[in-house]
Structure 1
Amino acid sequence: MFSLKNKHAVITGGGSGIGRAVCLLFGKQGAIVHVMDISKDAANQTAVQISEEGGEAFAHACDVSNQQNVTEIFNEIGTVHILVNSAGVSHIGKVDNTSEADFDRIYNVNVKGVYNCLHATIPSMKQNGGGVILNVCSVAAFVGLADRFAYSMSKGAVSSMTLSVAKDYVHDNIRCNSVSPGRVHTAFVDGFLAKNYPGREAEMFEKLSKTQPIGRMGKPEEIATIILFLCSDEASFITGTDYPIDGGFIKLNT
């Protein structure tokens, strides 16, 4: 079950965090993995690990906010059966202390970056008889998170794009879904705690963990598992749907 054998899968943000976990799992399941990341070194590290574990992978340095860069890479790849939009950046702030530069940075990566990849891959999916798209959304799209104005805005847009694409291309055999993680323990979390709470990292990690009713943060591998399911043939009857994977954050905190 959940075989991706011989399917070309593009994963943005594949050099770290959730994107990296998706790349590694897809490689194990037989996909030909195209690792896209702003950092060529990070993309290479993921691709090398996939190869060492018996899979097939290619690394691509890509700025998803640059449409020309994205288009060139997708043209180079050719046929794409699966697209996972995982690249994203975060920001802490309310609307009155979010600068225009910070707002633009979040928009350019988290919103325009998803659009650019959708725009580049859907024509070839239509031409080749279909495909699967998975967007990494967030609980921030559905509940009010304090000090996350720009980030929440961007994930609300990802949710809307998911529904629009699912509706517009359902008759082209293109499925489009999203997942909405709660807090996930990645290198970003560790860096955030070290920067903002020096000397109190363990205390704040525990506090953030307990905001999930289940009592801990998620693991990138757990997010990757549901993404694998949604991108597999076993999920062929699912489109236009968001799957919260949040330790009960949305339903049990409201």
Structure 2
Amino acid sequence: MSELLLFCLPYAGGSARRIYGDWQAALPDFVTVVPVELPGRGVRITEPLLTRVEAMTDDALGAVIPRLDRPFVLFGHSLGALVGYELARRLEHLHRYPPAHLIMSGHRAPQLPTTSDNDYDLPLPQFRERLRQLAGTPEEVLASRELLEVFAPIIRADFEAADTYRFRSGPGLSGPMTVYGGVDDPEAPPDTLPRWAELTTGHCAVRVLAGGHFFLHQEQDALLSGIADDLAAVRIPRGRTTSGRAN
């Protein structure tokens, strides 16, 4: 049995198993990577799609809680960061299971003012161009109306969840956090990332990598190297050496 669980939440339109399927081989053997699949994709393709972050959080909670037999970390990119943050709040304040570490990626601090673009409601041609701008959907999907019509409902549902999300103040988190961003990410510019620190009393580190919104693929090796360091810090708490003595 590994010492630590890493629950990974997907970005909009993504399958957690597909996004994070090769992470296990790249991370230390004391970690077990657990992709958290949301309804309507992957092995849950036949289940109804969800269009609110609250509903996605409820669903993820049901997948995570039965596995909490050891320390755990939450990772989420873009929409997954919102779900991961709300999941962390519920786990800590309602269920008394605080994450050992929270890793947020590709999303501005959620308490910052935002304007809803209602991207999910765009006509298909404009929707295609919006996806092309984000550079996360394969060109073969964007170039095929048939494929796009298959995947568009999933992406639209996830965009609706992100666009309708509204931050609600409440008790902060108590654990450490790392926030990753892309230097050229227009959805989560680097200057919006440090404000995540306001949401926890623990230490919050910000790491900016090369790339745009999907830097987690463009710079996967660098991201996983950073995450490995984050997980090692969970294994050996800050301020202690491998001998257990305080520095």
Q: With the length of structure 2 as denominator, give the TM-score of the two structures.
A: 0.45
More helix by share: 1
Q: With the length of structure 1 as denominator, give the TM-score of the two structures.
A: 0.44
